[in-house]
Amino acid sequence: MIALLTRDLRLAVRAGGGFGLGLAFFLIVVVLVPFGVGPESGLLSKIAPGVLWLGALLACLLSLDRILALDWEDGSLDLLATAPLPMEAIVSIKALAHWITTGLPLVLAAPVFGLLLNLPDAGYVPLVISLLIGTPALSVIGTFGAALTVGLKRGGLLLSLLVLPLYVPTLIFGAEMARRAIEGMEATTPLLMLAGITCGTIALLPFASAAVLRVNLR
Amino acid sequence: MGSIWEYANPKKFIATTDRLLPWVSALALVALVGGLIWGFFFTPDDYKQGSTVKIIYLHVPSALMAINAWMMMLVASLIWIVRRHHVSALAARAAAPIGAVMTLIALITGAIWGQPMWGTWWEWDPRLTSFLILFLFYLGYMALWAAIENDDTAADLTSILCLVGSVFAILSRYAVNFWNQGLHQGSSVMRAGAMMGDTEERVSNVYAVPLFVCIAGFILLFIALVFLRTQTEIRARRMRALLARERMN
Amino acid sequence: MPDLGKYAEAVLSSYVLSILLIVAMIVVSVRRSRKVKAALEEIEKRGKSNG
């Protein structure tokens, strides 16, 4: 398992795509928002947590099809399927590798990009915490979507259509937690809900992803 | 008559539904036309909402069917996963576009109703938002069916998507509830809730009877369309199989 | 025609739009059903004459 994880990580770093592209996309979204809504700093600081969450989500979405597509093309996915490792473990490792290469950099970059959007001082810690707790769910759900569309030629667009509705609860609770913390309201409820969703998806969704992948490899 | 599983035989399903279809369609037509005419022409205006109360005869039945269609798809998907009856998977496929149209009708009538009542076409009210999300789920489900060529693979993948989607749809429902209350401190929710509660509680017999007729009409229409569309899907599947065999020879 | 008062537009437009959507859905379903039925019959006939 660890060998698979290190292999995936090494491939992602060497290909360079996953790492840099997601971050650059995140930066561009953050930069474009003031152009769209105007440079007024009050407004920007008000919408900052939502924009940062949305940017992270979209950046995550962008790299989803790379989770499985490359392994599918060169046939290593078929090899993995015959390996002694259960399919559930494989998809979990894939999700973890995606989170380390995409989710974690986004979490670390979020406070820096927060500066650009006038994120209020009280918002940095809750935002990072909510992203840290929420982005694993994005990766796990995304792996499910990637497994669904892995055999398709133009899967990318379909993948977004399938995955985005599934992202709704995570986005709502994540952004809500950061926003509530900034406004000084109690933020434990959304925090707990967010953590619940993340734990639930990590525990259960790999079974669905594995089932889907088995169907696709049939 | 044997067990219900006999209808899992495509030929038997087509034969039975062929016999039932004219009756169900006729009943659906009678109930729909009757209920809507009754509701439109022969019910009084509400003292507060005026004539907009008449929209209820479209809004409530379509919203009900939007949810029921998804539940039917969920059950059909489960049957496919457990017992692998093709008719079941194809029925789920046949129901999805109907459910999507029902959701769309509920959204449109809701927006048109909301305009004079709440003074806005669109309110990010939990109920409206949930329906919009449900509509997105329908779109994704249909897109996945359309994208995969192999019938069995498509049936497997979409039924798993339907299961996972159901869980997430319920999660979204609660998340959305939470989110809007957080934003508006309950004001708009209260307003919307009061509106909804108002119509639901105050539906006296004058409104209730035609409403039930309309609901029955929508249910019958749904059944008739599912029968027809499932037949179509069964035939289309057989056609693809025959064509594939021809190419082999 | 009942008197719809100032909300006539809202009521009428929702009825017209909904009925249009329902009718369109029925028409599309029936049409596709006929088309597929005819196509299948043709293929089955062809299959029989060949084999």
Specify the pLDDT at position C23: 93
User: Using a CB-CB distance cutoff of 8 angstroms, which residues of chain A are in contact with residue B161?
Assistant: 148, 162
Residues of chain B with pLDDT under 50: 1-2, 182-201
Ranges in chain A, pLDDT < 50: none
Interchain CB distance below 8 Å, B221 and C22: yes
Looking at residue A89, its pLDDT comes to: 87
For chain C, the maximum distance between any two Cα atoms, rounded to a whole number of angstroms, is: 69
Cβ-defined contact of B176 to A172 (cutoff 8 Å):
yes
Query: What local confidence, expressed as pLDDT, does residue B186 receive?
Result: 38
Complex confidence, ipTM: 0.85
**Å from A191 to nearest chain B CA?**
12
pLDDT (mean) for C24-48: 88
- d(CA B151, CA A89) in angstroms, rounded, equals 28
Instruction: Categorise residue A16: left if φ over 0, alpha if ψ from -120 to 50, beta otherwise.
Output: left
Q: Residue B68, class by beta-carbon neighbours within 10 Å (0-12 exposed, 13-18 middle, 19+ buried)?
A: middle
For A55, which DSSP code? Answer: H
pLDDT of residue B240: 86
> Tokens standing for A214?
């088995």
Q: Please enumerate residues of B whose Cβ is less than 8 A from a Cβ of A.
A: 133, 136-137, 139-140, 143-144, 147-148, 153, 156-157, 160-161, 163-165, 168-169, 171-172, 174-176, 178-179, 182
Question: Is A79 part of the contact surface with chain B (CB cutoff 8 Å)?
Answer: no
Q: Which residues contact C7 (CB under 8 A, 6 or more apart)?
A: B50, B51, B52, B116
- Assess A195–B contact: CB distance below 8 Å, yes or no: no
Report pLDDT for A135: 92
pLDDT the model gives residue C24: 93
Supply φ then ψ for residue A63, to 5 degrees.
-100, 5
- Cβ distance A215 to B175 less than 8 Å, yes or no, reads no
Most C-contacting residue of B38, B52, B64, B206 (CB-CB within 10 A), to test interface: B52
Rounded to whole angstroms, the Cα distance separating B207 from A198 reads 45
Dihedral sign for Cα atoms in the order C23, C26, C29, C33: negative
Residue A160 — left, alpha, or beta (φ > 0 → left; ψ -120 to 50 → alpha)? alpha
Q: What is the pLDDT of residue A170?
A: 92
Compute how many other C-beta atoms are within 10 angstroms of the C-beta atom of residue B33: 12
Domains: count for chain A: 1
pLDDT for B204 equals 58
Domain that holds residue A102: 2-217
Angle between helices A87-98 and A124-149 (to 10 degrees): 140
Residue B101: which of C10, C25, C36 has the nearest Cβ? Answer: C25
